[in-house]
Amino acid sequence: MSTVLVTAVRPFLNAGTLVAASGTATIDLGLARILRNYGIVTFTDTSDTGAAPGNTYIALAGNYTTAGGSATEVAAITGVLATDEVIATVSNLNSTTVEVRQAAPGSNTVTLIFTADPGAGVVVSYVVLRRL
């Protein structure tokens, strides 16, 4: 992991923000470069040569609708690998104040941890990134 200084965060999928603050974050440099290429974050890293990442691609993207009942929910998403990286955000912000705190990939699943029980019918948009 490389430490990069996140200097700006843009809205993700026109539905809220990926993170709520800027500052220093420890994240995978390859993922940071992908997010920068899509205009989601801006960061400074002295080892950055400006080259396109090339070794990571968007494997899956879509929407998941929550069942509710718990702040942790396991979404069955065919094709997800435990080694993938997942970006997820609540898409229908008008219906809830709940946010996605964590999205952990598994084998054909993504475990979504929310700030509270989202209830039924909350739409979560996700992007699954995979290394070559």
pLDDT of 15: 34
pTM: 0.61
What DSSP assignment string belongs to 19-84? Answer: -S--EEEEE-HHHHHHHHHTTSEEEE-TT-------SEEEEEEEEEE---SSSEEEEE-TT--TT-
Query: pLDDT of 71-125, one tens digit each?
Result: 999 999 999 999 998 999 888 766 668 889 999 999 999 999 999 999 999 999 9
Helix, strand, or coil (residue 129): strand
Mean pLDDT computed over 53-67: 83
CA distance 20 to 79: 29
Please report, for residues 7, 11, 32, the alpha-carbon distance to residue 51 in angstroms, rounded to integers and kept in the order given. 20, 24, 12
Q: What are the residue boundaries of the structural domains of the chain, listed by start?
A: 2-44, 56-131
pLDDT of 130: 87
